[in-house]
Structure 1
Amino acid sequence: MDSEASMFDHIELMLLDESVEPSDMPLSFLTAITNNFSEDQTIGRGGFAVVYKGLLRNGLSVAVKKFYDTIELSDEMYRKEVQSMMRLKHANIVRFFGYCADTQWKMFKHDGRHVIAEARQRLLCFEFVPNGSLDKYISDMFHGLEWRKRYQIIRGICEGLRYLHDENVLHLDLKPSNILLDHNLVPKITDFGLSRCFDDNKTRTVTANLIGSVGYLAPEFFSGLISFKSDVYSLGVIIMEVVTGIKGYCEIEDVLESWRKRLKMPMGDALEQIRVCVEIGTMCIESNPLNRPDLRHIIELFDEMENMRLVTKTTSSLGTQGSDEHDSEETIASAITDEKREKLSVLSTLPKYLPFAFLEDITDGFSKERQLGRGGFGVVYKGILSDGYTIAVRRLLRFQGIEMKQFDNEVNILMELRHKNIVNLLGYCHEVRGTYVQYKGKPVFAETSEQLLCYEYLHCGSIDKYIFGKNHELDWHTRYKMIKGICEGLHYLHENDRAPIIHLNLKPANVLLDAAMEPRITDFGLSRLIGEGNTRIVNTHTPGPIGYMAPEYRYMGEVSRKVDIFSLGILILEIVTGQDNSTKVDFIDHVCEHCMEGPQIKFMYPSLEPELHDQVELCIKIGLECVQTDRKKRPTAGDIIRKLEEGTKLGPTPSRENITTEIGKPQMFSFELLNDITESFSPGRLRGTGGFGYVYEGIPHGNEGAMAVKRLKEKIGISPKQFENEVHNLSRIEHRNIVRLIGYCDEIREILSHGKNKNDPPIREHIQERLLCYEYMPKGSLDKIIYDNLDWHTRYKIIEGICHGLHCLHEGQQDIQIAHLDLKPANILLDSDMVPKLADFVAT
């Protein structure tokens, strides 16, 4: 009795204090409060358990879930489930109070005999939610709950499910009967994660047979595919049901018209909420799980809508009142707008100049907790205004040679730029501030210049979080929309009459996404603010991939619009293939080899309509046109937009050595053929000798291209198996700074040789012939030109290429590491463009 009294005290304390942790509960206590699990106390039944109402001494209630004896629930599974629920605490999750795992030996009668067996009882205790489950409140649009309550329920369910997903908990049985409502109709999700206690087959069997609500299960569930997007599908069905009273897709205009007939004036806010809820519900019930949003995006859509509503109200209250450069914080906060809806044009009320003290305040003193990102140009912070609205504040590094007047003039030009595919610059700060610094142990007064830029804040972040890898796989339609949007934004920057802008740092991290997955270019115009020289220094010295930089800009500092086009080309190829250029030692060659053909496109986009394959191929070809070495051959942004609008009018793939190089399996050549194209290995075709053999120039008949044929010495002692492995490994190495293996020959040739004496009959001998055929390098080896009068650009290009090639040998292969062991100028060959290529390494 003492233990029961103590438990009564503990659970009553839990009801008053949310900080009290769940605990172990005696079976006798749970039996007592449920009146020995009386049928009168039953409040629900499910596929796994019965739920009873437990009455406490103070008149309050709890819910006790008792699992069926027939459910096979191991101690380990039960323990993990309890541990999982003990850490879950959220306003929209049913609160967990405690657990009971009771095992006793009892006597049973079986087949007419008395046997002693183990009797296991597994129970869970939760808060009692008085208004029952959501399914009792769902009705059509003309009856039942008013819209405000429905919206509160939808938003609460989304918040609770987002919390579960953030904690890596899948519900797998989300439906109205598993959503309870408290006194204020606040929704609380229950029965979450319980299916994780059982093996997958039993979970699906129980769900399918006992749930009685197949309409909430995602289509992929029936083929055994379960993920967080399965819960999102169920959420979409529930949202549509709460809004309309029916499951499934509904036309937005029909829904809005029905609600107009019920709503009382004013109805603007409610109709906007209804529209957004239907849009979210429609996205959630997409048949393809990859097209469904995650809970983070859903919450951001709600946040943006509510922010827009606040801004609209604030803007209407401002009227036509203007503001000077030193308005109060309240005026600044109320003037800044997301401009997500282009119908709202309140940016004119924003003061262009924002005081440093104001920006310092809204970023919490530029605290680390408010940092959104860090790069070569500075640090970006989240600025939260007094009305809760968010902006992005970039605090630039202190660059030399920036005049205040020039900076202010350039910012004013940038602030006039407006396009749906660029991030809006909202305001700026340029102040000289006095501060004390330590110098030789003494405080010294010094002046520092602060430059800050304020942008609209986009919740979804940059596209690099979405376009790469399986975890963030996007369908082709979304990727194509991204490509078009980026091109249109860049075209606007390049061609606008007010201030043509060359970006000079276009990459995935500088393309943000709004709530509709529309791309928005950011960080444009920084070269105008800090100077092209400073910009190039930042771009070439900041840690991270530099694969987006055009060669003429990277090496020579030459600036033109075509520098951005090169970056755009890499970006397009990344979006199409879903691969990061920094993860491939030669990204462009990889695209040409693995992404251009029909079967390869089908592999990348298996569910894509066949008629859209040409669209994918078109984007790849546009990307390759953009990355041509000769910048004059690269298209303009306007050219690209016209090609995209034409859709499927495909032209030839651009002619560029790096692009058109065909890398494939090495071909097996006959000795007779190699003997023929080298003129019987004549001295006139000999191009080099080494420890392993002799290298000849082979010229195939009717072909202008030559190949290098290395005839290995017979006595080098390579076994057939070693040679086979060598050819296999060499054929896998694909890099623009490695000499490419074209083919090989492995034959035993029979020859006649004379005996020792002149009159002896000829002797038949068998000779092992092993040859390797490589691409031919017309400039020869590096040692022949390294001492010539080469310009620095060429020397730097050669050094860089050698380093890339050696890195490929050391780190670029999945299961082999190659040490060259004979790296010297004679083993570094040069192609017609002076690109260095490593030769004479052994892959085994």
Structure 2
Amino acid sequence: MDERKRKVSLRIWILIIVPTTVFITFIFLCYYLIKRKPKKSNKSLLRENFGKESLTLEPLQFNLATLKAATNNFSEQNRIGKGGFGEVYKGILLDGQHVAVKMLSKNSTQGAKEFKNEVSVIAKLQHRNLVTFIGFCLEEQTKILIYEYVSNKSLDYFLFDSQLSKLLSWTERYNIIKGIARGIFYLHELSRLKVIHRDLKPSNVLLDENMIPKISDFGLAKIVEINQDQVNTNKIVGTFGYMPPEYAMFGQFSEKLDVFSFGVMVLEIITGKKNLSSHKPHVPEGLLSYVWRQWRDQTWLDILDPNIKENYSEFEVTKCIQIGLLCVQQNPDVRPTMTDVLSYFSSYFNELPSSQEPAFFLNERSNPTIFPQESNINQPINNCIPFSTNKMSVSEFLPR
């Protein structure tokens, strides 16, 4: 009887152990085969993402191991900020060059599109007032952009800080304004391609150790035909407060979009105030409206940032205010080109056109819950709410 029980028990154990062993072996075999699956080479990934451009981009490609070594394995100590679609680390390459390494978040679908767009655009550009593109890394799910390291962070870091703004003299502000203008002029007129940045703002202007401005973040930039005057889009991307009304409302854009953004930045640099002030109940109007009223009332020097009121050139300040107002006109056809803007700066005796009432489409009448402070947007045009104030322009005799 005991012998029979032992045989039955043995059969049961065999029936349990053998299938289990086979199953576990099968699982491990599958895992091994999956792990053994050859990874795509860097060249094939490059071709998949950039097509014909891959040949010209190949010399700019870095491997991940090099960047891990440069950033101490992307350590927290090397982390210097967060960009539009990922974290930014400071790194040192093997040749001793200091770089900023921008790692794309793996969960960002829009970021992947911006990565390809940025590599395609900025790899073709080179100018003193654009951030220098060093290269990129593309390995499986990892996407990284590498730029020159710019030590003084971004313009907004200084401009909108009550203490740091004291470090920006009028001379530095004036040179920053002219440097940004030269960078945009290059994008519109001098590069092999006509590039519309579409997201110009102080946080996308970096300052080097000599406070020379460098335009950065080309993830939303658009390449257009040299002779193309206007482009239509059904998707609005960019930052509220720096968009002209024709783009924010109807999806129409041209180089005059960047001109408008430049005008807003000029007025922000002069005043030390952000264009969007709707979140502050004590601010009676938006920046463009405020500057226009002071200009109309011939009290334009009252808008100056208090930190520079002791030492400035009245001629330069007046010229910059007028250029800023010309750039933010409601009608894009009335706004100057960047060629015009540079001519205004270069000539001491040039008489500037009279500016009219600017676009007031983002002032206190906008609902702050719909248009948050400096919010980046990416939405279909049919979701946009018209928020332009329809006012008649009245011609007046104003100081030039």
| CA 793–475 in structure 1, closer or farther in 2 if over 3 Å, else same | same
1:257-300 Cα deviation digits (max 9, x unpaired): xxxxxxxxxxxxxxxxxxxxxxxxxxxxxxxxxxxxxxxxxxxx
Is 1:638 matched up with 2:369? no
1:427-479 Cα deviation digits (max 9, x unpaired): 11223x2xxxxxxxxxxxxxx3x332110001111111222354122221111
Alignment of 1:436-585 (within 5 A): 448=141, 450-471=142-163, 472-473=165-166, 474-524=168-218, 526-527=220-221, 539=238, 546-583=240-277, 585=285
Checking the alignment, whether the CA contact within 8 Å between 2:247 and 2:257 is kept in structure 1 is: yes
| CA 365–638 in structure 1, closer or farther in 2 if over 3 Å, else same | same
Q: SS state of the match for residue 419, structure 1? A: coil
| CA 598–648 in structure 1, closer or farther in 2 if over 3 Å, else same | farther
| CA 560–831 in structure 1, closer or farther in 2 if over 3 Å, else same | closer
Counterpart residue number, 1:707: none
Task: Tell me, in whole angstroms, the C-alpha distance in 2 between the residues paired with 1:401 and 1:608.
Answer: 43
Task: Tell me, in whole angstroms, the C-alpha distance in 2 between the residues paired with 1:533 and 1:365.
Answer: 43
| CA 547–430 in structure 1, closer or farther in 2 if over 3 Å, else same | same
Structure label with greater radius of gyration: 1
Task: Tell me, in whole angstroms, the C-alpha distance in 1 between the residues paired with 2:88 and 2:311.
Answer: 38
Checking the alignment, whether the CA contact within 8 Å between 1:382 and 1:392 is kept in structure 2 is: yes
Cα deviation for residue 566 of structure 1 reads 0.9
| CA 539–624 in structure 1, closer or farther in 2 if over 3 Å, else same | same
Cα deviation for residue 488 of structure 1 reads 0.2
Is 1:354 matched up with 2:62? yes
Counterpart residue number, 1:146: none
Task: Tell me, in whole angstroms, the C-alpha distance in 2 between the residues paired with 1:537 and 1:393.
Answer: 28
Cα deviation for residue 538 of structure 1 reads 5.6
Cα deviation for residue 412 of structure 1 reads 5.8
Counterpart residue number, 2:226: none
AA partner of residue 210 (structure 2): A
| CA 483–648 in structure 1, closer or farther in 2 if over 3 Å, else same | farther
Q: SS state of the match for residue 539, structure 1? A: strand
Task: Tell me, in whole angstroms, the C-alpha distance in 2 between the residues paired with 1:428 and 1:535.
Answer: 30
Cα deviation for residue 496 of structure 1 reads 2.7
Checking the alignment, whether the CA contact within 8 Å between 2:244 and 2:359 is kept in structure 1 is: no
Counterpart residue number, 1:590: 290
Counterpart residue number, 1:784: none
Checking the alignment, whether the CA contact within 8 Å between 2:329 and 2:358 is kept in structure 1 is: no
Task: Tell me, in whole angstroms, the C-alpha distance in 2 between the residues paired with 1:399 and 1:369.
Answer: 27
Task: Tell me, in whole angstroms, the C-alpha distance in 2 between the residues paired with 1:401 and 1:465.
Answer: 24
| CA 430–555 in structure 1, closer or farther in 2 if over 3 Å, else same | farther
Cα deviation for residue 520 of structure 1 reads 0.9
AA partner of residue 335 (structure 2): R
AA partner of residue 238 (structure 2): N
Checking the alignment, whether the CA contact within 8 Å between 2:104 and 2:111 is kept in structure 1 is: no
Checking the alignment, whether the CA contact within 8 Å between 2:90 and 2:99 is kept in structure 1 is: yes
Alignment of 1:42-191 (within 5 A): none
1:690-720 Cα deviation digits (max 9, x unpaired): xxxxxxxxxxxxxxxxxxxxxxxxxxxxxxx
Cα deviation for residue 793 of structure 1 reads 7.0
Q: SS state of the match for residue 210, structure 2? A: coil
Task: Tell me, in whole angstroms, the C-alpha distance in 2 between the residues paired with 1:495 and 1:451.
Answer: 31
Q: SS state of the match for residue 187, structure 2? A: helix
Checking the alignment, whether the CA contact within 8 Å between 1:381 and 1:392 is kept in structure 2 is: yes
Counterpart residue number, 2:373: none
Q: SS state of the match for residue 179, structure 2? A: helix
Cα deviation for residue 550 of structure 1 reads 2.1
Q: SS state of the match for residue 501, structure 1? A: strand
Structure 1 alignment gaps of length 5 or more: 1-324, 327-349, 434-447, 541-545, 660-733, 739-791, 802-829, 834-844
| CA 525–647 in structure 1, closer or farther in 2 if over 3 Å, else same | farther
Counterpart residue number, 2:92: 384
Q: SS state of the match for residue 316, structure 2? A: helix
Checking the alignment, whether the CA contact within 8 Å between 2:292 and 2:358 is kept in structure 1 is: no
1:299-346 Cα deviation digits (max 9, x unpaired): xxxxxxxxxxxxxxxxxxxxxxxxxx99xxxxxxxxxxxxxxxxxxxx
Cα deviation for residue 373 of structure 1 reads 2.2
AA partner of residue 214 (structure 2): R
AA partner of residue 302 (structure 2): Q
Checking the alignment, whether the CA contact within 8 Å between 1:425 and 1:455 is kept in structure 2 is: yes
Q: TM-score, normalised by structure 1?
A: 0.32
Q: SS state of the match for residue 455, structure 1? A: strand
Counterpart residue number, 2:138: 430
Task: Tell me, in whole angstroms, the C-alpha distance in 2 between the residues paired with 1:370 and 1:635.
Answer: 42
AA partner of residue 629 (structure 1): Q
Task: Tell me, in whole angstroms, the C-alpha distance in 2 between the residues paired with 1:396 and 1:403.
Answer: 11
Is 1:628 matched up with 2:329? yes
Is 1:600 matched up with 2:302? yes
AA partner of residue 465 (structure 1): Y
Percent of pairs identical after alignment? Answer: 36
| CA 364–558 in structure 1, closer or farther in 2 if over 3 Å, else same | farther
Cα deviation for residue 625 of structure 1 reads 1.1
Q: 2:103 aligned to 387, 395, 418, which one?
A: 395
Cα deviation for residue 608 of structure 1 reads 3.5
Q: Which has the higher contact order (CA 8 A, sep 6+)?
A: 2
Task: Tell me, in whole angstroms, the C-alpha distance in 2 between the residues paired with 1:550 and 1:658.
Answer: 8
Q: SS state of the match for residue 159, structure 2? A: coil
Q: SS state of the match for residue 548, structure 1? A: coil
Cα deviation for residue 353 of structure 1 reads 0.8
Q: TM-score, normalised by structure 2?
A: 0.64
| CA 470–419 in structure 1, closer or farther in 2 if over 3 Å, else same | same
Task: Tell me, in whole angstroms, the C-alpha distance in 2 between the residues paired with 1:391 and 1:649.
Answer: 41
1:462-512 Cα deviation digits (max 9, x unpaired): 111222354122221111101100000111111234222111111111111
| CA 735–625 in structure 1, closer or farther in 2 if over 3 Å, else same | same
Q: 1:796 aligned to 378, 381, 385, which one?
A: 385
Aligned-residue CA RMSD (Å): 3.9
Counterpart residue number, 2:81: 373
Cα deviation for residue 795 of structure 1 reads 8.6
Cα deviation for residue 736 of structure 1 reads 5.4
Task: Tell me, in whole angstroms, the C-alpha distance in 2 between the residues paired with 1:464 and 1:483.
Answer: 13
Q: SS state of the match for residue 505, structure 1? A: coil
| CA 365–536 in structure 1, closer or farther in 2 if over 3 Å, else same | farther
Checking the alignment, whether the CA contact within 8 Å between 1:566 and 1:627 is kept in structure 2 is: yes
Figure out how many residues of one structure are paired with residues of the other and give that number: 303
Checking the alignment, whether the CA contact within 8 Å between 1:501 and 1:524 is kept in structure 2 is: no
AA partner of residue 391 (structure 1): V
Cα deviation for residue 557 of structure 1 reads 2.6
AA partner of residue 159 (structure 2): I
Is 1:418 matched up with 2:7? no
Is 1:649 matched up with 2:359? no
Alignment of 1:621-770 (within 5 A): 621-647=322-348, 649-656=350-357, 735=364
Structure 2 alignment gaps of length 5 or more: 1-41, 44-57, 224-230, 278-282, 368-380, 393-400
Q: SS state of the match for residue 582, structure 1? A: coil
| CA 626–793 in structure 1, closer or farther in 2 if over 3 Å, else same | farther
Alignment of 1:281-360 (within 5 A): 351-360=59-68
| CA 358–469 in structure 1, closer or farther in 2 if over 3 Å, else same | closer
